[in-house]
Amino acid sequence: MPGNNTPQGQRAMMTVLDAPLPELIERLGRAVADAQHALDVNSLDIAKRMSERTVDLGDGQLWSLLALGFTPTFYAFAEATLEAKLTFTIRESTEFSVGGGATGGMAGIFSVTVNAEYSRKYGFEVQGASSIAARLVSLPPPARLHQLLNE
């Protein structure tokens, strides 16, 4: 690719190669694990509150919400996606032009003008975007908890 030997081109290539993709994936995994733990603790806390909360249905007995068949909802991460996009463009252009003119006069005197122009231009653009998406699904209570609730 033209321009990848320029300082700008080399910096662009190093930016892409130094992208900490393994670190980003590790962070996503840890974040999902931490969030899953928080969801589980929350569901167990709700189960505890449901066992402590009682209602009188008019029969003179106090019933806990769990005894009435209510169960806490458990959630699990079904999918987590990390998406990172990086686009970079390097442009290099070279322009060279030559022009001139000649004038002559009497007595054999001539003059010549020469115009030479040279320009080299570099262009560098970087665009990046990232997103993280997670999908949660509702699950029934764990089998052992469900068994205890039924007892």
**Structural domains in the chain (count):** 1
The count of residues in the chain is 151
Q: Is 76 part of a structural domain of the chain?
A: yes
Question: How far is 41 from 72, CA to CA, in rounded Å?
Answer: 11
- 93 within some domain: no
- Are 84 and 19 a contacting pair, CB within 8 Å? yes
Residue 23 falls within a domain, yes or no? yes
In a domain, 99, yes or no: no
Asked if the structure places residue 1 within a domain, the reply is no
Q: Tens digit of pLDDT for each residue in 32-86?
A: 999 999 999 999 999 999 999 999 998 889 999 988 888 889 999 888 887 777 7
In a domain, 54, yes or no: yes
Domain assignment of residue 124, yes or no: no
Q: What percent of the chain has pLDDT over 70?
A: 79
Least confident of 6-10, 83-87, 93-97: 6-10
Range of the domain at 36: 7-87+131-150
| 63: in domain | yes
φ/ψ of residue 13, rounded to 5: -65, -40
